[in-house]
């Protein structure tokens, strides 16, 4: 067996005599290495490779052998080597010592078939294998490392199992509700909980297609406020109106009346009572920056809640009705709360859950309605205006608006609304207004276009007296005029 540093001489053939010129070489028959660890009985003789070859060897006495075997570990670490035993033996190689005194010592394992001289022959001939001391130490270290490695692998796997068990235990632990709190008053969560029961989804089916939108229940017996463009197809007959309540019930409804000029309509759910009702707020008290919540069924996704602020007030926007003419304008609330197709007719509420607007129009950068979506520019009909129109629709089926009694020139190049004609006997004639006058303000609101004046007048109350600031076509001769709007 070679020593650890691989410098041992190669065993020669047993039939070849040993080289007499080399006193450190002897003939040892090659034997297969045993995979088992050497026992103390295998350590028979310790030789000093530097003893003179002519010195006869003296085999250990049994007690010496036992002592050597028992002290093997001490010899490994302390370098304790028995005194020189002058016997010609092979130096299988200089081993790397662990201790300070064993750098050139070897340990010879004797077997039953070793061939020795008569003077060197022990009582019972045995084969021998030569293993350096460092080789024996290496075997011991390998055994120790092997044991430690097995222990380490076991510990690692044990830790992995423990870690996995801890994770599974954590995942299976019942959730805690300590963090759950009651929705704070005025929060979006609280507003949604209060308002959702009074919001419905609307679907109108005709022979040519289906239209969808949203609505607000405004009476316990089933009246619903919505946009005219959502339900106008039902006014033509041969249609079916289905309303889906927040609790999932689908109920039939009938078209009551609608106004294309203001885009306000009313339908009624059949055979219902004690429905939750939307409460109205005062839209005239809204302030820019005030928080609002939009609720509806965008793209058919019912009970969708979005939040934002009032971005602006008094935006003249065309909403429904014909595509031309002043009658299509509304005085809208602008909001950044996300509004998409399907939100039409749904409520815009304040943080008290009161209806302050009806979502109606969105601005879009897309020219195709199929791909349009919210870009943070949504518009709602003020609740005060929608409520007044709905009242007329339910009571009479028709809508009238406050009037100034003038015709306006939409093609003028002036900043403001230019009067092209004054209606004889109307409020404006009584106030002294003339053709060519340009209205630049109504009360505290600036007027920069024809649409702005129409929207402002329609948002006013019947019979209300308003203050107009009027100039001539050249921007001079500014004056204030008091005008009382027409009544119902």
pLDDT tens-digit readout, 230-263: 999 998 878 999 999 999 999 999 999 999 888 9
pLDDT-wise least confident of 178-182, 193-197, 280-284, 346-350:
178-182
Q: Is the pLDDT of residue 461 over 50?
A: yes
Biggest CA pair distance of the chain: 155
Which is more confident, 209 or 130?
A: 209
Residue 165 pLDDT class (50, 70, 90 cuts):
confident
Q: Is the pLDDT of residue 365 over 50?
A: yes
Nearest to 238 by CA among 205, 211, 270, 266: 205
Q: Is the pLDDT of residue 224 over 80?
A: yes
Residue 215 pLDDT class (50, 70, 90 cuts):
very high
Spatial CB neighbours of 53, under 8 Å, sequence gap ≥ 6:
23, 24, 86, 88
Which is more confident, 166 or 99?
A: 166
Note the Cα 352 to chain centre separation in Å. 30
Note the Cα 323 to chain centre separation in Å. 43
User: What proportion of the chain, given as a percentage, has pLDDT over 70?
Assistant: 62
Which is more confident, 40 or 468?
A: 468
The whole-angstrom separation of Cα 292 and Cα 309 is 5
Q: Is the pLDDT of residue 38 over 60?
A: no
Are residues 197 and 276 in contact, defined by beta-carbon separation less than 8 angstroms? yes
**Structure confidence at residue 139 (pLDDT):** 52
Average pLDDT over residues 322-343: 77
Average pLDDT over residues 430-447: 94
Nearest to 342 by CA among 302, 298, 294, 295: 298
Are residues 418 and 433 in contact, defined by beta-carbon separation less than 8 angstroms? no
**Surface-to-core class of residue 131, CB atoms within 10 Å of its CB (0-12 exposed, 13-18 middle, 19+ buried):** buried
Average pLDDT over residues 428-438: 94
Dihedral sign computed on CA atoms, order 114, 115, 116, 118? positive
Token pair for 428:
């404006």
Give the Å distances, CA to CA, from 75 to 12, 15, 66, 101, 137. Answer: 30, 35, 14, 9, 10
Q: Residues 19-37: pLDDT tens digits?
A: 444 444 444 444 444 444 4
Selecting among 42, 105, 201, 229, the annotated active-site residue is 229
Q: Residues 264-286: pLDDT tens digits?
A: 999 999 999 999 999 999 999 99
Average pLDDT over residues 135-157: 50
**Structure confidence at residue 171 (pLDDT):** 86
Residue 101 pLDDT class (50, 70, 90 cuts):
very low
Which is more confident, 216 or 20?
A: 216
Nearest to 126 by CA among 68, 46, 41: 41
Q: Delineate the domains of the chain, giving CATH numbers in brackets.
A: 1-173 (no CATH), 188-269 (2.40.10.10), 283-395 (2.40.10.10), 406-484 (2.30.42.10)
* Phi and psi angles of residue 167, each rounded to the nearest 5 degrees, phi first: -65, -45
> Catalytic residue at 229?
yes
**Structure confidence at residue 88 (pLDDT):** 45
Selecting among 57, 214, 307, 344, the annotated active-site residue is 344
**Structure confidence at residue 129 (pLDDT):** 54
The whole-angstrom separation of Cα 154 and Cα 366 is 65
Selecting among 42, 232, 259, 263, the annotated active-site residue is 263
Average pLDDT over residues 74-84: 44
**Structure confidence at residue 323 (pLDDT):** 39
Token pair for 258:
């609608």
The whole-angstrom separation of Cα 190 and Cα 205 is 34
Spatial CB neighbours of 58, under 8 Å, sequence gap ≥ 6:
85, 87
> Catalytic residue at 104?
no
Q: How much is the mean pLDDT over the chain?
A: 75
> Catalytic residue at 344?
yes
The strand pairing partners of 293, in sequence order, are 307, 349
> How many Cα atoms sit within 13 Å of 157 on the Cβ side?
5
């Amino acid at each position: 067996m070679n020593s650890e540093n691989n410098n041992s001489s190669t065993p020669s053939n047993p039939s070849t005599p040993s080289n007499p010129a080399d006193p450190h070489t002897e003939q040892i028959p090659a034997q297969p290495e045993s995979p088992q660890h050497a026992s103390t009985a295998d350590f028979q003789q310790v030789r000093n490779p530097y003893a003179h070859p002519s010195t006869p060897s003296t085999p250990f006495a049994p007690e010496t052998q036992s002592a050597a075997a028992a002290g093997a570990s001490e010899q490994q670490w302390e370098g304790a080597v028995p005194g020189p035993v002058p016997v010609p033996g092979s130096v299988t190689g200089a081993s790397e010592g662990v201790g300070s005194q064993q750098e050139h010592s070897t340990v010879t394992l004797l077997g039953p078939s070793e061939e020795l001289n008569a003077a060197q022959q022990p009582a019972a001939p045995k084969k021998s294998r030569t293993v350096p001391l460092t080789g024996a130490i290496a075997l011991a270290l390998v055994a120790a490392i092997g044991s430690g490695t097995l222990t380490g692998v076991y510990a690692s796997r044990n830790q992995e199992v423990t870690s996995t068990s801890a994770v599974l235990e954590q995942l299976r632990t019942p959730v805690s509700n300590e963090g759950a709190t009651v929705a704070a008053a005025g929060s979006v969560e609280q507003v949604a909980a209060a308002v959702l029961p009074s919001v419905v989804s609307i679907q109108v089916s005709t022979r040519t297609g289906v239209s969808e939108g949203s609505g607000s229940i405004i009476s316990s017996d089933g009246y619903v406020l919505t946009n005219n463009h959502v339900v106008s197809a039902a006014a033509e007959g041969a249609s079916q109106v289905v309303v889906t309540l927040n609790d999932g019930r689908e109920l039939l409804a009938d078209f009551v009346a609608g106004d294309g000029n203001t885009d306000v309509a009313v339908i009624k759910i059949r055979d219902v009572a004690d429905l939750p009702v939307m409460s109205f707020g005062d839209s005239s008290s809204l302030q820019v920056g005030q928080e609002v919540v939009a609720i509806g069924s965008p793209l058919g996704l019912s009970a969708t809640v979005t939040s934002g602020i009032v971005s602006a007030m008094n935006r003249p926007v065309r909403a429904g009705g014909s595509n031309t003419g002043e009658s299509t304008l509304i005085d809208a609330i602008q909001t950044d709360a996300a509004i998409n197709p399907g939100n039409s007719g749904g409520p815009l509420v304040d943080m008290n859950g009161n209806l302050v607007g009806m979502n109606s129009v969105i601005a879009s950068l897309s020219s195709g309605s199929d791909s349009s979506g919210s870009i943070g520019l949504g518009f709602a009909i003020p609740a005060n205006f929608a409520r007044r129109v709905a009242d007329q629709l339910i009571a009479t089926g028709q809508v009238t608006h406050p009037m100034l009694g003038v015709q306006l020139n939409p093609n003028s190049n002036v900043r403001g609304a230019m009067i092209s004609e004054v209606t004889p006997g109307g409020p404006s004639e009584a106030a002294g207004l003339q053709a060519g006058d340009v209205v630049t303000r109504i009360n505290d609101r600036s007027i920069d276009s024809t649409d702005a004046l129409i929207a402002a007048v329609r948002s006013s109350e019947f019979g209300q007296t308003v203050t107009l600031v009027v100039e001539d076509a050249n921007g001079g001769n500014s004056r204030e005029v008091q005008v009382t709007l027409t009544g119902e």
